[in-house]
Structure 1
Amino acid sequence: MAKIKEIERTPNPDAMRFVLDEPLTNGVTRSFENDAEAEGDPLASALFAIENVINVYYVDKYVTVTQDGEAVWSELLRKLAPPIREAEPMTDLEDDSEVHVSKEAQESNDPRLLEINRMLDEQVRPYLLADGGGLKVLGLDGNRLKVHYQGACGTCPTATTGTLYAIESMVKRIDPEIQVISV
């Protein structure tokens, strides 16, 4: 059973990050945007069964839950804690090859995408994870890079402004013509 060490606010007022004593996964990231996606995942399914939960994102010792903005955190936290505490370590999970990069983007032969993903892995994703979220590259359509924010970043006001601008500035070093679009 997972023991909650801390509960941290994220830059997103509608998301909280639970820090656990022991890892749930060994580096495998899971991101769910609704209960249908969470089917077959005991932790995510239990969290989506709680009213107002709209996103579940977890990796290693971190579980981020995003609500719809309608719940009072003090009340919601009391409901979220038991399923997180009851979660069993999932050390046998296989990596989701599409958690950070869509299948379409993985199959692209555009060398810019390889460079962009390397840059995101080194310079962006670790910081987003520290804030309870992540970033998935959906694809490069001409000079339009489509990305999707995960976890706390998905509905965070700063993700779609400041972070998106910073990512676009970095990507422009690879190709000045690329425009980054959050979908």
Structure 2
Amino acid sequence: MGAMLIETERTPNPATLKFLPGRQVMAAGTRDFATPEEAEASPLAEALFALGDVTGVFFGGNFISVTIAPGAEWSDVKPDVLATLLDHFTADMPLFRGGTATGIHIPADDGDQDSGFADDPEDAEIVAQIRELIDTRVRPAVANDGGDIIYRGFDKGKVYLRMQGACSGCPSSTATLKNGIEALLKHYVPEVTEVLSV
């Protein structure tokens, strides 16, 4: 096996870089780690958090986004992140500990009962349209920026979405959400009045 090259891409968030190992990272879904505790599920995420300046790790289909703390410099952290990723992929280590190698992640807070976003069965058709638009139009665009957007609910005209990865902390995310996504959804789904981030 020849030397492995990991490409790096900037994202709209200066604190987040996207690393492309040139191979599949997640077979399905995405995974977001916002704390070292969450990262314990993945040896790779844990190793990245252990570098010290890393405050967020996000796994996408073919990339890993890493976010560093305010005040940290990419010039200091990047070589360590690259070394950690190279070690991981060269050794073909599993992405997750025990049995969760599929990578399909059901966040603990996704229970509709307690989040207050139970979709009204009468809105089923609207919700299907919204989900379809998010999956086909919104998520591919956001994935380019190293993040993901998850549909959380529709209630009386308001659409609730959750931002992950590079999108969650970047200054442009609120603007993206408000201008781009809201305009798109309103255009195709007249019942939508507002888009909110949760």
Determine which structure has the larger helix proportion and give its number. Answer: 2
User: Partner amino acid for 2:137?
Assistant: Q
Trace 1:1-183 onto structure 2 (pairs within 5 A).
Answer: 3-87=4-88, 88=93, 90=95, 92-97=101-106, 102-104=110-112, 108=119, 109=121, 110-111=123-124, 112-172=126-186, 173-183=188-198
User: Partner amino acid for 1:170?
Assistant: L
Taking only the aligned residue pairs, the percentage that are identical comes to 30
Determine which structure has the larger strand proportion and give its number. Answer: 1
Gaps (5+ residues) in structure 2?
A: none
CA distance in 2, matches of 1:166, 1:60: 23
CA distance in 2, matches of 1:94, 1:18: 18
CA distance in 1, matches of 2:192, 2:153: 15
CA shift for structure 1 position 178: 2.4
Gaps (5+ residues) in structure 1?
A: none
- In structure 2, relative to structure 1, the CA distance for the partners of 1:83 and 1:5 (3 Å cut) is closer
Q: Residue 161 of structure 2 contacts residue 196 of structure 2 at CA under 8 Å; is this kept in 1?
A: yes
CA shift for structure 1 position 3: 3.6
CA distance in 2, matches of 1:83, 1:56: 13
CA shift for structure 1 position 90: 4.2
Q: Residue 138 of structure 1 contacts residue 147 of structure 1 at CA under 8 Å; is this kept in 2?
A: yes
Question: Secondary structure, in 3 states, of the residue corresponding to 2:134?
Answer: helix
Please give the TM-score of this superposition, normalised by the length of structure 2.
0.80
CA shift for structure 1 position 159: 1.4
RMSD, aligned α-carbons: 2.7
CA distance in 2, matches of 1:102, 1:83: 31
- In structure 2, relative to structure 1, the CA distance for the partners of 1:61 and 1:77 (3 Å cut) is same
* CA offset digits 1:34-87 (Å, max 9, x no partner): 122222211111112222322211123200011222111110102212221122
Please give the TM-score of this superposition, normalised by the length of structure 1.
0.85
Aligned length in residues: 182
Work out which of the two has the higher radius of gyration on C-alpha atoms and give 1 or 2. Answer: 2
- In structure 2, relative to structure 1, the CA distance for the partners of 1:117 and 1:4 (3 Å cut) is farther
CA distance in 2, matches of 1:118, 1:43: 32
Q: Residue 53 of structure 1 contacts residue 66 of structure 1 at CA under 8 Å; is this kept in 2?
A: yes
CA shift for structure 1 position 103: 4.1
Between 150-159 and 23-32, the greater mean CA deviation after superposition: 23-32
Between 9-18 and 24-33, the greater mean CA deviation after superposition: 24-33
CA shift for structure 1 position 16: 0.2
CA distance in 1, matches of 2:5, 2:149: 25
CA shift for structure 1 position 130: 0.9
CA shift for structure 1 position 166: 0.9
User: Partner amino acid for 1:69?
Assistant: P
